[in-house]
Amino acid sequence: MNSENSVLDPKTSPTFPIAARATLGDTQLRKNVRHATEVIQNKRARVVAEMPDWQQLRESGRQIRQHTMANLETYLEEFERNCIRAGGTVHWARDGEEAKRIVTTLAKTYASQQNPEVIKIKSMTTEEIHLNVALEAAGVKAYETDLAELIIQLGHDQPSHIVVPALHKNRQQIREIFQREMNLPELGEKPQDLADAARKFLREKFLRVNTAVSGANFLIAETGGVCIVESEGNGRMCLTLPETLITIAGIDKVLPRFEDLEVMLQLLPRSATGERMNPYNSIWTGVHAGDGPKNFHVVLMDNARSEVLADSEGRQTLNCIRCGACQNACPVYRQTGGHAYGSVYAGPIGAILTPQLQQLHHAQSLPYASSLCGACYEVCPVKINIPEVLIHLRNKVVKQKGPLNPEALAMKMAGTLFRSERRFRAAQRLGRFAETPLVRRDGSGDGWIGWLPGLLGGWTQVRDLREMPKETFRDWWEKRGKRGN
Amino acid sequence: MATETNGVIDTSSARQEILRWIRAANQGVADSQPVAQQWDRIERPYRRSATRSREEILELLEDRLRDYDANVVRTAEAEVAAAAAKMLAARGHKRLLIPGGLNPAWLPAGFDYVVDDGASPAALDGFDGVITGSTVAIALTGSVVLQNVPGQGRRAVSLVPDHHLCFVRVEDVVETVPEAFDRLKATSTLPTTFFAGPSATADIEMTRIKGVHGPRFLDIILVE
Amino acid sequence: MFPETGKAVVKVLERLGHTVDFPAGQTCCGQMHWNTGYQAEALPLVGRFVEQFRHAEAVVVPSSSCVAMMRDHYPKMAEEIGDRKLIAEVAELLPHVYEFSEFLTVRLGLKDVGAYYPHRVTYHASCHGLRNLGLGDGPLELLRAVKGIDLIQIENMEQCCGFGGTFAVKNADVSSAMLAEKTTAVLNTGAEACTACDNSCLMHIQGALHRQRTGVQTVHLAEILAGSEGDVL
């Protein structure tokens, strides 16, 4: 995972169970992930409990997003019109390849010709298309300026969380990276020392580099404005100081009106980082004379989002506002961390987003990377029913895999049993007969199975299974009969 | 594919196709009502107005700002300059940047003020601090909102210097986020910055660290 | 699979003066198929369920995940089948379907069902009961009213045990790691038994507790509520 130039790509990543086995063996990583998710979850719970109208906000948030998606064409055109009117330029990209080509072309046009460089704000959309690799191939050096993204970039690592991409690293590991990459052998390991080092390292770049690349949290159709939320001020630096700003946004990021932000800016920070409001929110519209970049380009990227929109059950995935609350709440993510998902979108949202944005056959194991416990749905600020979408995608995987595999055949067999009382009872008897060679008696004389073959072997890795009862409830009931009162 | 001629990128064919895909995808959910009416139908049962008294709102704002390591004082209009003098002196700051249009009555004598004239980022970095007014403040979230208007200036001004002294008039303080948006609506296309406390990060072991790239020192004077 | 639970449900309901019937034709709610992606296999079970239970005044199910399956998915499944009669029948039947503890606390408005269970017990809140059915404190209130019980709060009561149906075999390593946290939490309470409203979670937890030879048992909530002072436990 840490090898240079490797990227999290579902096309080349191992399946979730295989990748998870590796991360489960990394005790330091698991400790870091557990600590971080616990801290955010507790902070979130505290600030959400402060809000007597939290459930009402969630419902409004859901309705706003659903309404936006149902009228996406209108709102994108409205955004484009208003952004252009305000002095911005809007580009459209069908997929990641087109988006990368547009951004690299713009970067090479505007960045210093002798030494082309850009500064970047943390953006999952650019991670999704691996923009930095494309920029580098085009000879443009990209500097990540978010502290966590800087840790990832300097550590030749990959993001493992939507909001806190380096949460799998602890302070000692971060210090080692900074010592090596910033050439600071004396650097301390206090978080303040590390943040100070990042400030010094990046300040010079903020003041010098003339082109920035950002993502967007929200595009505002009504005004043509863009909103970015952040904590450190690196975002403000990138949005304000360079001459040129290139913003790349998925077509799902649009909001109808300015005042819709009053809902989103309450839901997002409390869900994402457990803050009442992000330390910084920036909203700007096109180009403003004497304030900020002279050149402003927006790239609106589809990259399979319109395909997701066409799926009546899967489309609610597009309502996501990338808060990461589902990741922090997920008991699976908390065990494995993000890299096991083989995609920059990890956790429950990744398990539904990745298979839909990528071709499903590259991500067939992801919809199964969940116990369907529902903790993700409970915390989702826009009420995406993630378990429901997971089940929907599992159905697509089953159809894609076809009927001729051991699991499908076993499921078909079970289905046949459940459709007939006679066959069901026969199976209960047969099951008892079939398990006999596997049953061992324990000290109290109860029968237990400690080893199972094939697909079921996963169960007996760490669990026993009680033998089937000698007398089923059904048998008992028939002997006893119904008793009236 | 995007076509490119002399640096001009033409993505109109991608635009047509994406919009066509979206149109096709949304066929099943088409609604005959005009979009604006559909938007009006969105239910908004959340809190949109204040529930606290003025004094409680001001106290809440102070409390929330302090919670995020801002230094806050409340003072009568006549005492503003004196309060500012005390805060600047405490930090030993002398050379201060101000945006054009800032109320001169609020600026104490004895300090060097330079009115922003569009100086380069590097030049902005040379100031001890910056003094600005504000547009609105939200008590519930401890946020202060700046816009590009006289007295608040362009965004870089309140960003690059390491110390920000900000005046907030009590009549600009609201309790909830929706009330703030109601006030900002008329000027929604101006460059706008919300800040809540000094710059911060929690990227290292989720420990909140004050001060990364934005101003590390924040003083707020609530003007009554 | 768990005849003692069924017997206990019968005992509690009859003790409270209700008449219990068990339609012999019932098999499975279809959850395993539906949740694993085998929608086609699950669909016929909706009609079967309606057929078996349409005449009941109340349908009591001692498994929170089965009730969640019906409530969350049966209406949609009936729509998918496209049978208008079935859609209407499902809509009519579902309000009468209760999870066992829910039947006692919500439908009957009871807390104390006159049970006696002199053991140290901890309660695990099964995910589907907690989040899909919103059982809340209902099961705990029933337990608190049990005579002789020593009820111990478990740490992270609401955290999934890692069962998740076929998840436990498809993602056995992750499931095992989740289960390890749950069994540690159970053992930390010092309880003799862990209870819940769902035998699937309990089978999972029990599997590890037995493998580790902890001596700690799992027992369905109904079996605790069925306990009475005359019983030899």
Same domain? A76 vs A222: yes
Cβ neighbours of A312 in C, within 8 Å: none
Determine the pLDDT at residue B168: 98
Asked if C167 lies within 8 A of A417 by C-beta distance, the reply is no
Model confidence pLDDT, tens digit, residues A315-362: 999 999 999 999 999 999 999 999 999 999 999 999 999 999 988 888
Residue-by-residue DSSP string for A402-429: -S-SHHHHHHHHHHHHHT-HHHHHHHHH
Q: Does A455 touch chain C (CB under 8 A)?
A: yes
Higher pLDDT, C198 or B199: C198
* Alpha carbon of B2: minimum distance to chain A alpha carbons (Å): 7
Average pLDDT over residues A110-136: 95
Query: Could you tell me the residue ranges of all domains in chain C?
Result: 3-107, 120-226
* Alpha carbon of A284: minimum distance to chain B alpha carbons (Å): 5
Determine the pLDDT at residue A5: 45
Size of interface A-C (CB pairs under 8 A): 189
| Residue from A211, A13, A183 nearest A104 by CA | A211
C220/C197 Cα distance (integer angstroms)? 6
Same domain? A297 vs A416: no
Q: A291 by DSSP, 3-state: which?
A: strand
Asked if B213 lies within 8 A of A278 by C-beta distance, the reply is no
Of A148, A279, A300, the CB nearest to B197: A279
Confidence of residue B203 (pLDDT cuts 50, 70, 90): confident
A48/A58 Cα distance (integer angstroms)? 11
Model confidence pLDDT, tens digit, residues A25-73: 999 999 999 999 999 999 999 999 999 999 999 999 999 999 999 999 9
Q: What is the dihedral of CA A214, A217, A220, A225, to 10 degrees?
A: -30
The answer to the question of residue A378 being in a domain is: no
Residue B1: pLDDT above 60? no
Cβ neighbours of A167 in B, within 8 Å: 203, 206
**Which 8-state DSSP code applies to residue C107?**
I
Parent domain of A415: 406-479
Q: Does C39 touch chain A (CB under 8 A)?
A: yes
Q: How many domains does chain A have?
A: 2
How large is the ipTM? 0.96
Task: Please give the mean pLDDT across all residues of chain A.
Answer: 94
Asked if C34 lies within 8 A of A408 by C-beta distance, the reply is no
C82/B45 Cα distance (integer angstroms)? 35
> Do the two chains B and C touch, given a threshold of 8 Å on CB pairs and at least 3 pairs?
no
Residue A119: pLDDT above 70? yes
Confidence of residue B212 (pLDDT cuts 50, 70, 90): confident
The answer to the question of residue A351 being in a domain is: no
B39/A258 Cα distance (integer angstroms)? 13
B136/B54 Cα distance (integer angstroms)? 15
Model confidence pLDDT, tens digit, residues A388-401: 999 999 999 999 99
Q: Is the dihedral of CA A84, A89, A94, A96 positive or negative?
A: negative
Of C164, C169, C204, the CB nearest to A455: C169
Determine what percent of chain B is predicted with pLDDT higher than 90.
85
Model confidence pLDDT, tens digit, residues C164-178: 999 999 999 999 999
Of A71, A222, A236, the CB nearest to B193: A236
Determine the pLDDT at residue B68: 87
Residue A2: pLDDT above 50? no
* Alpha carbon of B210: minimum distance to chain A alpha carbons (Å): 8
Q: How many residues does chain C have?
A: 233
Average pLDDT over residues B63-88: 96
> Where is the domain boundary, A271, A306, A341?
A306
Determine the pLDDT at residue B5: 59
- Asked whether A209 and B191 are in contact (CB, 8 A), the reply is no
The answer to the question of residue A335 being in a domain is: no
Confidence of residue B10 (pLDDT cuts 50, 70, 90): very high
Determine the pLDDT at residue B4: 63
Q: Is the dihedral of CA A94, A100, A106, A109 positive or negative?
A: negative
Average pLDDT over residues B44-58: 97
Model confidence pLDDT, tens digit, residues A393-445: 999 999 999 999 999 999 999 999 999 999 999 998 888 899 999 999 988 88
Specify the residue for token string 């068990």.
C22
A341/A9 Cα distance (integer angstroms)? 9
Determine the pLDDT at residue A484: 57
Average pLDDT over residues B176-184: 98
Asked if A374 lies within 8 A of C178 by C-beta distance, the reply is no
User: ∠ CA(A263), CA(A265), CA(A270), 5° rounding?
Assistant: 105
The answer to the question of residue A426 being in a domain is: yes
* Alpha carbon of A409: minimum distance to chain C alpha carbons (Å): 11
Confidence of residue A485 (pLDDT cuts 50, 70, 90): very low
Determine the pLDDT at residue B31: 87
> Where is the domain boundary, A290, A306, A322?
A306
Determine the pLDDT at residue A3: 39
Residue type (1 letter), A216? A
| Residue from A424, A356, A352, A359 nearest A384 by CA | A352
Determine the pLDDT at residue B210: 82
Average pLDDT over residues C114-122: 97
The residue of chain A nearest to residue B207, with distances taken between CA atoms, is A191
CATH at A103: 3.40.50.10420
Residue B214: pLDDT above 90? no
Higher pLDDT, B154 or A456: B154
Burial of C58 per CB tally in 10 Å (0-12, 13-18, 19+)? middle
Determine the pLDDT at residue A44: 97
CATH code reported for the domain at C120-226: 3.40.50
Q: Is the dihedral of CA A115, A121, A126, A130 positive or negative?
A: positive
Confidence of residue B205 (pLDDT cuts 50, 70, 90): confident
Task: Please give the mean pLDDT across all residues of chain C.
Answer: 96
Same domain? A293 vs A154: yes
The answer to the question of residue A322 being in a domain is: no
Cβ neighbours of A207 in B, within 8 Å: 121-122, 125
CB proximity under 8 Å: C 64-93 to A? 72
Q: Does A41 touch chain C (CB under 8 A)?
A: no
The answer to the question of residue A427 being in a domain is: yes
Residue A279: pLDDT above 70? yes
Asked if A203 lies within 8 A of B125 by C-beta distance, the reply is yes
Q: At what angle do helices A54-70 and A261-272 cross, to 10 degrees?
A: 120
Model confidence pLDDT, tens digit, residues A365-389: 999 999 999 999 999 999 999 999 9
